[in-house]
Amino acid sequence: MDTQTATPLDTSTAATVAKEETKAISSTRQINIVRGVALSPPVIGRIGMGHTVLRKSGSDVKAIPVRDDHFTITTLVQEKATREWERHPLHQKLTEGADDLLLRAIPVRIAYNDPALNLQNRHSCFDRQTGRAHCMGNGRTARRVINNEVQTIDCPGSDTCEYGKTFYCKNMTRAYFRIEGQEDELGTFILRTGSHNSLTALATRFEKLGSLTGQRMANMPMLLIMVSKTSQQSYREAFQFADLVQRPGMSILDAAKEAQSYLKTMADAGLQVDAMEATLRAGMQLSDFADSPEDIDEWLSDEDLVRAAGGTIQEGTPVLSSLASIDEHLRKLSAQHAPPEGEGEGENPDSTQTALSFSE
């Protein structure tokens, strides 16, 4: 796909990595699966932090992602005409009796012992036509489609990579949880987000819990909550992000004991949790890009942010490559459309200020 020059890694190092991956896969996997088909954690539903609004501009209809201050638990079915996701029965169950029917806390259980299976974060470039990834990296190395081949190259990160600026590379996170009351014991609900605050909060929680328990935290009861915060970058407008905390009335010690009891029960029954997780890790290495086609529909796009602020993107204008550049562009739009001094005081923030809070 790409004809630009990339910096390859040392050939011997790449060969060693490939050899170790093949060895790990062959030692744990029982079914013969061709390379390129990733065996990722099984997903039975979504945990959404926003919704999509359709706006008509002339003959075109654009889907504008909008952040919510609450969660939505959905199935994997999205209505084609409205872009609305079908509500999962667990959503209704958890909101029964609530005053505003808004879900701001979800009783979850940690899905896996390995923090890397519970949360995955990487820089990602997607093909806007097919919805598939063609470059993914971790800030050190990346796998990219170059001249119809997948190559391992250096990854400078989405903010400094010229290729990433051209193809809208973003820092993307997927977190997997089991929700209290779900019937499929092996399935998970996925939370996808491009939020830096959600990433740092969830990643820190998983790493700390993994260290505390010696990576024996599968089935630990926790609470996924929506946290509100203001900052200078959001112009003191409140924005929301996801965090993972202990349940009310339950200490970390009690939660850890419940996880240990679950793991002991599984082991006594002859069920090998560690082997299952090793199989999942090996299965994810089968593909160069362990992505899902619907991933691209979860991320806030630069064009939509700018259009939501009342601006337009013309051909030949610089591509917005990071959250910082989005903020800069939106501030310019805000200055262009700002009312004369003294006017508009006391009114609600305009669409530009609202869009700014998305960057958090």
Span 29-52, pLDDT tens digits: 567 777 667 778 899 999 999 888
| Whole-angstrom distance, CA of residue 302 vs CA of residue 171 | 13
Tokens of 196: 């830096």
Could you tell me which residues come within 8 angstroms of residue 71 by beta carbon, excluding any fewer than 6 positions away? Answer: 47, 48, 49, 103, 104, 106, 224, 226, 242
User: 77: pLDDT confidence band, cut at 50, 70 and 90?
Assistant: very high
State the number of CA atoms in the 13 A half-sphere of 245 facing the CB.
11
Which tokens sit at 357? 């809070």
Q: Are 152 and 297 in contact (CB under 8 A)?
A: no
Concatenating the DSSP letter of every residue in 103-146 gives: B-EEEEEE--SSHHHHEEEEEEEE-TTT--EEEEE-SSEEEEEE
Quote the pTM value: 0.74
Burial 155-188 (b: 16+ CB within 10 A, else e): bbbbeebebbbebbbbbbbbbbbbbeebeeeebb
User: Taking a C-beta distance cutoff of 8 angstroms, is the pair 175, 189 a contact?
Assistant: no
- Which pLDDT does position 298 carry in this prediction? 56
**Could you report the per-residue pLDDT of 263-296, keeping only the tens digit for each?**
999 999 999 999 999 999 888 877 666 555 455 5
User: Residue 200 class from Cβ within 10 Å (0-12 exposed, 13-18 middle, 19+ buried)?
Assistant: middle
Which range among 10-14, 51-55, 273-277 has the greatest average pLDDT? 273-277
Tokens 């014991």 map to which residue? Answer: 185
Are 172 and 194 in contact by the 8 Å Cβ rule? The answer is yes
Helices of type H across the chain: 11-28, 89-95, 115-118, 162-166, 196-213, 252-268, 273-284, 302-308, 323-336, 351-356
Which pLDDT score is estimated for 39? 76
- What integer pLDDT is reported at residue 131 of this predicted model? 65
Percent of the chain with pLDDT over 70: 69
CA-to-CA separations, 190 to 16, 109, 118, 178, in angstroms, rounded: 32, 13, 10, 9
